[in-house]
Amino acid sequence: MSKLQKIRAQLFKNLETSPMLKSKRESLLTYYPPDVSVVKLAAQDPSLKPLKLRDVWFDIKRDREIMLEARKKNVLAFGPQAAPAKKEGKKKKRK
């Protein structure tokens, strides 16, 4: 039993001391100052406007689009979009 306990202790010790990588979700949740209510952020409360908080996802998407445009790639525009124009063409003939 003592060997098993030593092995467990070594395993858990390594897990506790190894640095964990921060996920994107975690980094976004901790991006705003701690005194800002997450509920108010989600509801887009007007009382938070004086803080001039920035939307991180919006910035990431915009930077990605700029990078793609620089490489002359097709960019899908985000935000409100108009319906694509309908193309009038010939119908297939049935046999």
Q: How far is CA 41 from CA 22, 36, 49, 53, 73, in A?
A: 22, 8, 10, 9, 34
Model confidence at 4, in pLDDT bands (50, 70, 90)?
A: confident
Name every residue whose Cβ is closer than 8 Å to that of residue 57 and which is 6 or more positions away in sequence: 28
pTM over 0.85: no
Query: What b/e readout covers 33-49, taking b as 16+ CB neighbours within 10 angstroms?
Result: eeeeeeeeeeeeeeeee
Q: What is the pLDDT of residues 10-35, one digit of tens each?
A: 666 655 555 555 666 666 665 666 67
The domain segmentation of the chain, as residue ranges, is: 23-77
Q: What CA dihedral angle connects 67, 61, 34 and 37, to 10 degrees?
A: 160
Q: What is the pLDDT of residues 54-86, one digit of tens each?
A: 777 778 888 888 898 899 888 776 666 666 677
